Amino acid sequence: MPGPRYISHEEAVLESSKDPEYRRVYRLLKPRYDVVKELITLRRRQGISQEEFARRAHTHQSRISKIESADQDVTLSTLTKLADALDADVDIRLIPRQEEGFFAEVLSLCGESTGRTWSIEEEPVVFRAVEELVR
């Protein structure tokens, strides 16, 4: 009898991304989790605890814990204050959605480097891969 096999997260998300509603919600929620990733990464890189981070940002550790848990949306002014506590600046960009132009080009580049065709449904996977490359 065949044993278990393992599916990668990339494959799994690819499957889910075929649903337009999944892609719509993904776009809405991703920035919130991106903020969380940025804050945790920078805090840890500086080797400081949530308590120390809270002290520097003049807030409570429980608030930092909530923010790092993506429990609540962070306002721009709070984000600026948190960034300042980490001696960092906030960089905001609004990227026009150009699925037929820019994104098609990205997918085409992915196709060239991987030797297979990428579809629009694969956007979250491609975005994640690009993010990882530039990190």
What is the binding site for another protein (CB under 8 A)? 1-9, 12-13, 15-16, 19, 21-22, 24-26, 29-30, 32-33, 36-37, 40-41, 44, 50, 65-66, 68-71, 128, 132
In eight-state DSSP terms, residue 75 is P
Q: Which is nearer to another protein, 37 or 108 (CB)?
A: 37
Q: Which is nearer to another protein, 77 or 113 (CB)?
A: 113
Distances (CA, A) of 7 to 12, 14, 15, 44, 117: 7, 11, 11, 30, 20
Q: How far is the CB of 66 from another protein (least distance, A)?
A: 7
Q: How far is the CB of 41 from another protein (least distance, A)?
A: 6
Q: How far is the CB of 26 from another protein (least distance, A)?
A: 5
Closest alpha carbon to 130 in 116, 104, 112, 110? 110
Distance separating alpha carbons of residues 107 and 85, to the nearest angstrom:
38
